[in-house]
Amino acid sequence: MPNSSDDAEVTLNAPEYQPASTAFETGQLGEMGTTGAARMFVRALPVLVVVASVLIVFSRRPDAFIHPQFWAEDGKYWFAAAYNHGGVAELFQPHTGYLQFLSRFTAMVSMLFPVSWAPGIFVAVAVAVQVAPAAFLVSERCSSLIASRTLRLFLASLYVAIPNSFEVDANLTNAQWHLALLALLVVVAKPPRTAPARVADVGIVALSGLTGPFCILLFPVACVFLALRRRPWTAVLVGAVGVTGLAQLVMLFTSPRGSPGALGASISGFFTIVGRQVFLGAIVGQSGLEHLSHGGDWSAISIAAGAAGIAFALAAGMQVRTEVQIVGLFGALVLAASLASPTSTNPIKDWVGLSLPGVGGRYWLIPMFAFLALAVGVIDQRWDPSRISEWRALHRRAWPRARSDGARLISPWVAATMAGAVLVVLATLAIGIPRDWRYPPFVNYHFARYAAVLVGPTVNTST
């Protein structure tokens, strides 16, 4: 066993390396990195990303903007409850066992406008929440997650263009999934520097905590992150997550949620679902899954994809920053909770139904993002030839040492294998994203006509 001085020598003599993207962020690329134009571009980047992301969402489902419609619970529960009952008390009524503050608050606000505007207001809020994580990703605060601004922009692009996501695209009912992802990014990001930013952080985490059960899963993840980073601001966010998580747990145990039915769980079913919906779904999309399903029995392919994807995620988790590891952990918990207690109206067993293309799309968004974040996180680590000698020296000693930035140093052979796997994933994405780009439009029920009847003088109140 080598002594500690040998290890220190390897670290001290290792050549320093700074990727170009990091140098750009710190203004060390000469004139270009220090000009006022460059600084203005960096500050305006989140706004530019918002605009580009909205255009991407529009291009994938233009009908959501041209003919906005209610989706699922949007009309049946949120709008109907606000229209028929209203009142602040309605905001804290649980649905399927937990609070849905964002949806109910949006419905309440929509009552201030003409009834015919309600679907458009719902879509506007849903799209705003959907693109918010992309804008936050490219901000300087997320450099603790992915150091390279270029790679953060790449990951944000993958997020807004992610395949296999029809169910969570531009609708208020499933905006909670995007909001949960934003809350996760807030927790792992650099602490804010201004009071308004701190208020915004707590507001985002609290809003997510009161909208869906994700805070119950985020709380232990945030506690782990607090133990690793020991940031005072993280403790504040942990408190906000804990308070809302307690409220959701109370609702979960005191309000009806419905019978989950038989899961039909099995080991092969687990690998099938994960392989199809998370790993293959993230790179080939729903259309790719449907194409594979037409080729006969593809269970073996699905199981192999599940096993390979899990192996990739575990190996990648050994190389990426702590913040990316936290994202991966949260994705795994969301996936586990979704499989343990899915809400499905499918007449067949839940796990069998969840393995079908296009089923349960909301459950896969955060796990798919975590998978892509791990892949981008691997690229973000310093794949520089000058570090090969350092890797070899450490490989001859003990199982991976931790670098100063929290990433793991591993064998160059493992590193090369991981690099190849990442390239395969990204190359396949170039096929899957275009194939799964345009989503089918919602049926246009011409809500404005019904709204005119609802509020017009022709309403028959005698019955």
Q: Is the same domain home to 250 and 363?
A: no
Count CB atoms within 10 A of the CB of residue 340: 10
pLDDT (0 to 100) of residue 403: 43
Instruction: Quote the pTM value.
Output: 0.84
Whether residue 9 lies inside any domain: the answer is no
In sequence order, what DSSP letters do the residues of 381-434 get, joined into one string? Answer: S---GGGHHHHHHHHTSSS-PBPTTSPBP--HHHHHHHHHHHHHHHHHHHHHHH
Q: Are 441 and 68 in contact (CB under 8 A)?
A: no
Of the residues 203, 231, 257, the one at which a domain ends:
257
Domain-embedded: residue 453: no
Tokens 């997020």 sit at which residue? Answer: 159
* pLDDT at residue 401, as a whole number: 41
Number of structural domains in the chain: 2
> Are 121 and 193 in the same domain?
yes
* Range 148-171 average pLDDT: 93
Cβ-contact 380, 389 below 8 angstroms: no
pLDDT value at position 341? 86
In-domain check, residue 446:
no
Beta bridge partners of 98: 95
Q: Verify that 199 and 336 share a domain, yes or no.
A: no
Do 233 and 341 lie in one domain? The reply is: no
SS3 134: helix
Whether 430 has a pLDDT exceeding 90, the answer reads no
Is 1 a domain residue?
A: no
Residue 312 placed within a domain? yes
Looking at the structure, tell me whether residues 163 and 203 fall in a common domain: yes
Q: Burial level of 254, CB count in 10 A (0-12/13-18/19+)?
A: exposed
Q: Does the pLDDT at position 96 exceed 90?
A: no
Q: How confident is the model at residue 5 (pLDDT cuts 50, 70, 90)?
A: very low
Mean pLDDT for all residues in the chain: 82
The pLDDT assigned to 391 comes to 43
pLDDT in tens, 239-283: 999 999 999 999 988 887 665 667 888 999 999 999 999 999 999
Which pLDDT belongs to residue 4? 38
Quote the CA–CA distance of 434 and 437 in Å, as a whole number: 5
Here the tokens at position 355 are 């393995």
Shared domain check, 290 and 236: no
The average pLDDT across 343-353 equals 69
Same domain, 223 and 304: no
Q: From 257, 274, 292, give the residue that closes a domain.
A: 257
Q: What φ, ψ does residue 443 adopt, rounded to 5°?
A: -65, 130
Give the separation between CA 298 and CA 295, rounded to whole angstroms: 7
Of 227, 257, 287, the position where a domain reaches its end is 257
Per-residue pLDDT, averaged over 80-98, amounts to: 88
Residue 275 DSSP symbol: I
Are 165 and 271 contained in the same domain? Answer: no
- Residue written as tokens 């309403």? 459
Same domain (yes/no): 71, 102: yes
Does residue 333 sit within a domain?
yes
Q: Which domain holds residue 154?
A: 41-257
Please write the tens of the pLDDT for every residue from 215-247. Answer: 999 999 999 999 999 999 999 999 999 999 999
**Does one domain contain both 290 and 240?**
no
Residue 20 placed within a domain: no
Please report whether residue 6 resides in a domain: no
Instruction: Looking at the structure, tell me whether residues 277 and 234 fall in a common domain.
Output: no
Q: Which two tokens stand for residue 392?
A: 């070899």
Cβ neighbors of 314 (< 8 A, separation 6 or more) are: none
pLDDT higher than threshold 80 for residue 302: yes
pLDDT at residue 100 greater than cutoff 60: yes
User: Mean pLDDT throughout 84-111?
Assistant: 90
**402 and 275 part of one domain:** yes
Q: What is the pLDDT of residue 382?
A: 56
Structural element, H or E, at residue 329: helix 322-340
